[in-house]
Each structure stands twice: as structure tokens, then as C-alpha cells.
Amino acid sequence: MEAKEIHEILIQHLPGCVREFRTTTADPFWVVESERIREVAAFLKDHPALQFDMLQAVTGVDRGECFEAVYHLTSLRFGHSVTLKAVLSHEAPSIATISDIYPAANWHERETYDLLGIVFTGHPDLRRILLPDDWEGHPLRKDYVAPESYHGISNAPD
Amino acid sequence: MVQSLKTDEILVNMGPQHPSTHGVLRCLLKTDGEWVREVWPYIGYLHRCKEKIAEKVSYIQFMPYTDRLDYLASANNNLGWAMAVERLAAIEVPERAVWLRVLAAELNRIASHLLSYGTFGMEAGAFTPFFYGFRERETIVSIFDQLCGARLTYHYARIGGVMRDLSPETAKAIRRFLDEMDRRWVEYNTLLSDNEIFVRRTANVGIIPADLAIAYGLTGPVLRGSGVAHDIRKAVPYACYPKLDFQVCIGQGLKGTVGDSWDRYWVRMLEIRESVKICRQVLDGLPEGPYQTKVPRILKVPANEAYVRTEAPRGELGFYVISDGTDKPWRCRIRAPSFCNLSILNRIARNCLVADVIMILGSIDVVMGEVDR
Amino acid sequence: MPGTLTDIINFVIQTALALVGLDYARVPEMLRIGAAMLIACAAMLGYVAVVALFFGWAERRVAGRMQARQGPNIVGPFGLLQLIADAVKILVKEDIIPQTAHRFLFRLAPILVFMGAFAPFVVLPFSETLVVSNLSLGVYYALSFAALEVVGVIMAGWASNNKWSLYGGMRLAAQMMSYEIPMGLAVLTVAVLSGHLNLRTIVLDQQGHWIFSWNIFRGFPWAFLGMFAFYLAGLAGSKRTPFDLPEAESEIVAGYHTEYSGMRFVIFYLSEYATMYVVSALTAVLFLGGWHAPIPRVLAWGGEVHWEAGPVLSALIGMANMIGKSFFLMFVMLWFRWTYPRVRVDQIVYLCMKVLVPLGIICLIGASVWALVL
């Protein structure tokens, strides 16, 4: 299914959910209301004509003034894909989890939390996944400054 | 008296240094004697924050870093990154380069699956498959040595083409190897695939039903082992794959249930054969022409974003790249197949034996360089 | 003609003392027996070391041949330098005892294991005359000493204070204990057929014409099946692939010897080869005619019809036969190891309890009927 048709189904069934539909980029994307992400995800998964059954990735992007949570969904049955974006505040980035809708999101959300500090509310096990538990800061943020040392191990380049 | 005996569940750390955790994976096992009640994988021991590195170096400079993601399939990673950047910067790649990249990627897929064959055999307790797998892999590695001068981190695909052209001698060496591989493939099956002990160790162990596999975002041989015929090379054709004739191999539960460890193993074995077929076709149909277009030294990519998917040996390798007009990406997200595939371990490795956990882990076939990035 | 190895040694000592001018008869009885036993045991210990070394080397070579390995077949003539390289490497290794280990038991364990593996050598007959101790309950003795190994291994597993070691120890204990049953049943089959528990007598019993006087064919089909039960059970007892669960490196690191290094590790290693040899030799003795040659006696040296070999020559020929058979069976073990994957812990129990034990019982009953009827 073409992106335009998907867009029509979306605005028809979930009015007010899509804030923006951008087609100027290489891959089109939808900016959705961050409060309604669960609703959108569940709808996309269950709608018989869409059936986005696989979540490929959850990505966090630091835009400077705000954060974005990006979801890549694809349908194995129909072969079409969507990219959803939710804009989050920079001070306290937080969005509801979709790990109960897509179990694949579990680790992706943990990773996004770990590296960008986006909190996924309702996540069953929101811990750091790649970095040690006592690590400070979130490295993928643009304002992140790498620490001088970690547990006495120097971080200075040779 | 029996009731008064105290029994206890023990927590055992399998890894980060353990012979069969494929590097530095750490699994915490809750065991009750030989039974494993639950497994929690802990990752991150090989974390290098590649996504941050990508933001600090230019598009062209990041290419060698992709070698070190799934270090057993560098050529496939190179291909993915090159395609992502070319898509964003709208660079046309000469036809010959496209075919050469596919050749490298498929050879690398064979090498990667051979290694998986060997380690899987070793995890089952059979040593010999490991040496046999490595023997053929060695030939591929030498071919890559001729092709691009490296044996592990190839850096063969470059943005806008490939690094070097294929020489006639190398082409001959590849053909020789492909013929050899056909013979060896039969030998491999005699040694391991049909071995009664091996079948009993793997069939009906770690069954992943198709719906669960999809829900957990599994891709590659792990998904196909569950009977889902999903291959990016067919689903979202890229490079020269539409012009090639090959099959998507799926698990059929030949020795047990669809989606068991043996099926995943068997899908890899079948894919070796398909890749041999693809390599032959590529060598036969290799178009003439240049192998590299001119790409500026400082490649500035206009503001854009794209998610580019390729089929790496372990599944869907996705590069989600956001460019901002400079020569460095604003954000580069690497969707590593092993990362997603590993996330199902806790779900399927429950109430099984210690030996089964090893087989399940082996059949998922993760590479920690890619899981931890 | 002297009866056993001890007698031979006594004879040698006597002659030597006589040359110096001492009367052997005046040496106290205890001292005489003690000295003879000591020398015989030392000889056997040397033999164990040679067997282990030889198979350490042979295993590398066989593996190298079967697996297209480069190293072991090209280091020195016939890969012999590999042996030296291995020895040097292992001897210069640091001997580590983990801090939290139980130091005494940790040290004691390898000794017990080696004792268990070594003790059966004493009753193994190499030829009619070459046997250290001609025990009337030889088979019983050999099997019961295998149990000592279990104690040692559990000790090693527990004293290492490592969970993987404990797993290995427990696995081995379960495995060896349960495989003693089919092993015992298979041995009983032979005992019923020949009516003896003395290994030397069992072999003497198999004297006759060609291979058909061997127990494996004499008690056909019971002893034939019994041999497979015995050999498989022995394979499990010596923890070799496909039954190498106690040291399954891909599952439990190295099992009970995870924490051992250097010489202590070598002792475990030696014990493994010693056990393998004992199993092979016992199979040869019980089922494959021991020191009897597989060729017709008419052609064989020592054939009563044409020509009687001297005691030395027939001892040597018997030894060659015996060692040849044992080595062949050991080679089969190596062959298994480099071909088969490992079975799972439930499968090993299944194989023992549901396949080998019933098979053993059937063999025993069948052989008993055979013994009554024939």
C-alpha cells in the first residue's frame, strides 16, 4: 500500500492523531501526537488492511530543542512500512511504552532510555541495557560530555 | 526424610567469559539442578557507542566502523551503509559495482553461515564441524584477501562503488571455491545435519512459533526457521537481487516442530547453497564498466532522512540516517538483527536443560559486536 | 613356568641376589612380596604413563587427520614434537588453587581419581604370565575401583567452589553410578558363560580355534550384545564423547576440572586415558579373547600342533595381541570423539536405563540359559 493510502486510513480512523505527514524526505514519515502513540500503534497493528505486525526499531533523536521518538513498523504480509515520530519535550522527555503491543519494543525502548534518557512510562523493566548501571548521563544527547574517567580508568585519548 | 532435604535454585552466571556465549554475552541462569527456569541476557560488554561515533565522523569515514558491527559479515554491513548514504545523497552507483557488492555480500554470507555451522556443531559437542567450517571459510577469507587486501574487516563497498575491481584470477578462485563448496555441503550434512544425536539435541528444542517470532521482531534465518518466508532481498528488492534467481529457504519442521533449533540451523545450511547459486549468477552476469563513480572527498549530504534495510546473514540490518546538510550525519541509528534476535532468549529458554540453553543460543546465532554496537 | 608377573620379578630378584651372594630365602616373606609388588606396580605406572603419552599424541594425530588440522601432523617427525610442546606448555603452567577452594580436598581429588583409574591395571593380564596380581575376583576388583574415581570427581567439583565444577561433578557422579549397572550386567554375562571372575582364567577359557572361541562368538548372541553394552557403558564411565557431559566445554566450561591447572590438570587428563585403556583392555579380555591371536592356531606361534613357543616369546606375542586389541578399541573411542556430538543429560539417562540395562538383563538371562543348555 502506498504511503498516501495509509495516511488516508489513518486520518479517517484516528482523527487528530497525525500532526504532520511529510513526504519530502527519502522515506515519508508521520508525526503523531505523543500522548496517543499507543492508540496509533495498536490501530496500525490490528487494522486488517494495514497489519503492521513487525516493529523494526525504536529510535531516539536529539533535535536540540526537543527529542523525537521514531518508530519503524513494517508489515510482512503486505510489505509496506511506516515511520512514526513523536515529539517530546527536551526537559523531561517521556512517552508511553508500546512494549506490550510490540514485544520487540522492549529492548529498543531500554536502549533509547539508556542512550538518550527518554523515559518510557509503563515499561516493565526500564533499566540501562548497554551501559553499566552506574553510568552517568546519556551519551547520544548532543550536550553530552564524556567523563574524564570511569572507576579510575582514564578516558583520555592516547 | 526426602522432604527434609533442602533444595535450592542457584543463580549461575554464564559469561561474559564462557566458551559458548559467542563473545562477551552474559546470561544469568536460574537453575534447579540441570533445569533452567529462566535466563536473563545481559549485554553491553562490547559497547562502543557506534551511533555516537557516527555523529562525530564523516559519512565516508564511518564506513570502516561498520566493518566492526557484525564482524563476521563486514561486506554486508558495508553494503548497507553505502546504500543508506547513496540514497540520502542521491549518488548513482555503476552497475558493475552493484554486482560486485552483491558478490562480496553473498560470499560473506557463506563465510558467516559456515562459522555458524561450526560453532553450532561445537556447542552440540562435535568438534569436527568447526574445523571443516573454518577450512572452507579460510578459502573465502583468502579470496577477500585478493579482492580487497583484508581478511576480516573488508571495507570493500565504498560510497559510490567498490574499492577495487574483480581480477580474472580472483574470479577463477571464486569459481573454484563454489565448486568445492557444492561438494563440501554434502559432506557437512553427513557429518552433522543428519546425525541422530545432533537431531535429538536440536529438534523440538527452543521452538519459536511464527507469531512470536514476528512479535519480537526477529529477522533472518531465525524468522525463516519459524516458517515465515520473509527475506528483504525479495520483500524490498535492492541492488541487483531482482535480476538473480534464488529461493527463500524456510523451516519446515523436517525433524521436529517448525521453528525449532534444527530448523534454524537447516535454514542456514540451505542459504549457503542459495548463496553459492547467487555467486555463480553474479560471476556469469557481471556487467562491464567502471566500478566507482566520482564522489567528493568531503561529501555533504542535504538534509534528509532514510531507513535503508538490507538482508545481512543474521537478518534485517537497518540504517536509519538523518542528515543535516553537513558532511556528518545528525543521527545514525543501526538496527542490528542480532540485538532483536537475542531479545527473545528470555522468552523461549525457559524450563529447559542447561544444554538446551546453549543450543538455543547457538541457533539464534548472535554476534556481540552487533548486539552491543 | 612362573605364574604371574610377581613370580617373574621374584625370580629376577632371586637371581640377582644370588649373583651378589645373598640367599633369597632368608629375606622375610613380607619384604619379598612387598618388593615384588612395588616393582610390578612401578612397571605398571610406567606403562600407564606411556599409554597416556602415546594416546595424547595419537589423539592429536587422529584429530589432525580427521579434522584437517594443521598443527599436530607437521610438528616434527610424525608430529612427535607436538607431544614435547604440550608437555612443556603444561609443566610450566602455574599451579593455581582458588582462594575460596577447600585446599585439602582440592589437592586430594586428582590423586583419588588417578588411583581409581590406575588400580585396575594391576589385574589386567597381558599374557598368560604377565599379570601383576592374579586375583580370583579380578573383574569385581576392577569394577569396584572405578567407584573411587567418582569420589574423587565429586570431591574436585565440590572443593573447587565453582558452580560449573559442581555441575560437572554431579553429572559425572550420576553418569558413572548409573552406568555401572549395565557394565556389571554385561560382565555377569561373561562370568556366567565362563564360570569365573578371574580375568586370567576367563582369557584361558577362550583358548581354542580361531576367533570363534572368543566369548563374543562363543556366547553368541548374548555376549555379542553384552560387549556393546559393556563398551558403551565403559565409554560413558570414562566420560568420552558422546558421553562427555561432565566436562562439556560448551555447556559447563570444563566441568569438574575447570579450576585445575598445570600438573593437577594433567593428572585428570592421564586418568582419563588410563580409564579408557582399562575399559578397552577389559573389553578385550572379557569378550575378544585377551591375548589370543585372531589367526588360526595352526599358523600362530604357540600352536600346540606344530611348534611350542618359549615362555618369553609367547609372553611377548600375547602382549602384542592384547595391546593391539586394546589400542584398536581406544582408537574407536577417538574416532567417536571426533565424529559425534554430545548427548544431553536426559538422553544419557534414557540410554542407560531404558536401553542398556534391559539389554544387559536380556543378555544375562540368555547367557544363563545358554550355560545350562550347552
Q: Which of A54, A61, A72 sits opposite B307 (nearest CB)?
A: A72
Yes or no, beta carbons of A103 and B216 under 8 Å apart: yes
B307 to A139: CB separation less than 8 angstroms, yes or no: no
Rama region for B21: left / alpha / beta (φ>0; ψ in -120 to 50; rest): alpha
Q: Is C265 left (phi over 0), alpha (psi -120 to 50) or beta?
A: alpha
CB–CB of C341 and B358 under 8 A?
no
- All residues of chain B having their beta carbon less than 8 Å from the beta carbon of residue C257 are none
Rounded to whole angstroms, what are the CA distances from B66 to B23, B70, B145?
Answer: 18, 8, 18
Say which CATH superfamily domain B50-372 falls into: Cytochrome-c3 Hydrogenase, chain B (1.10.645.10)
* Cβ pair C341, B198 in contact under 8 A: yes
Interchain contact A26–B (C-beta under 8 A): yes
Query: Residues A46-76: pLDDT tens digits?
Result: 888 888 888 989 999 988 888 989 999 998 8
Residue B37 to residue B31: CA distance in whole angstroms: 6
What is the reported pLDDT for A92?
Answer: 86
CB B186 within 8 A of CB B156: no
Instruction: Give the mean model confidence (pLDDT) for residues C31-36.
Output: 74
Say if A84 is an interface residue toward chain B (CB within 8 Å): no
DSSP H/E element including B100: helix B95-123
Residues B313-370: tens digit of each pLDDT:
998 999 999 988 888 899 999 999 999 899 898 888 888 888 888 889 889 888 888 8
Asked if B316 contacts B219 with a C-beta cutoff of 8 angstroms, the reply is yes
Contacts of C116 (CB under 8 A, 6+ apart): C145, C146, C147, C148, C149, C150, C151, C152, C271
Give the span between the Cα atoms of C162 and A70, in whole angstroms: 45
DSSP H helices in B149-259 = 168-188, 196-202, 210-215, 221-225, 232-235
Helix (H) or strand (E) holding B36: strand B35-42
Q: What is the nearest CA distance from B371 to chain A, expressed in angstroms? A: 9
Which of the residues A77, A129, A145 would you substitute to probe the B interface, choosing the one with the greatest number of B C-beta atoms within 10 Å? A129
Contacts of A102 in chain B (CB under 8 A): 215, 217
Nearest to B124 by CA among B23, B7, B202: B202
Poorest-pLDDT segment among A7-11, B109-113, B277-281, C358-362: A7-11
Domain ranges of chain B: 50-372
C64 to chain B, closest Cα gap in Å: 10
Q: Is the pLDDT of residue C326 over 50?
A: yes
Predicted confidence (pLDDT) per residue in B161-215, tens digit: 888 888 888 999 999 999 999 988 998 888 888 888 899 889 888 889 988 999 8
Q: Which domains does chain A have, with CATH numbers?
A: 3-130 (3.30.460.80)
| CB–CB contact A57 B347 (8 Å) | no
ipTM associated with this complex: 0.88
- Top residue of A23, A24, A30, A59 to mutate, by most chain B CBs within 10 Å, is A59
Question: How many CA within 13 A on the CB side of residue A42?
Answer: 11
H runs (alpha helix) in A23-143: 37-46, 105-116
Mutate to test the interface with B, among C165, C340, C347 (most CBs of B within 10 A): C340
* Strands, E assignment, chain A: 18-22, 29-32, 54-62, 66-74, 81-89, 94-96, 119-121, 149-150, 153-154
Phi-psi region of C118 (alpha: psi -120 to 50; beta: other; left: phi over 0): alpha
Q: In the prediction, which pLDDT does B113 show?
A: 92
Can you tell me the mean pLDDT for C33-42? 76
Residue A83 with chain B: CB contacts under 8 Å: 307
The pLDDT of residue C90 is 81
- Chain A residues touching B309 at Cβ < 8 A: 56
* Chain B interface includes C337 (CB < 8 A): yes
Rounded to the nearest integer, the mean pLDDT of chain B is 88
Which residue of A25, A52, A54, A106 to mutate against B (max B Cβ within 10 Å)?
A54
Domain ranges in chain C? 96-373
Write out the H or E segment, with its range, that includes residue B312: strand B304-312
Neighbours of chain A (3+ CB pairs under 8 A): B
* Nearest CB to C67 within list B127, B201, B353: B127
Chain C: residue whose CA lies nearest to B354? C251
CA angle C299, C303, C309 (to 5 degrees): 110
User: Helix C222-237 crosses helix C262-287 at what angle (to 10 degrees)?
Assistant: 180
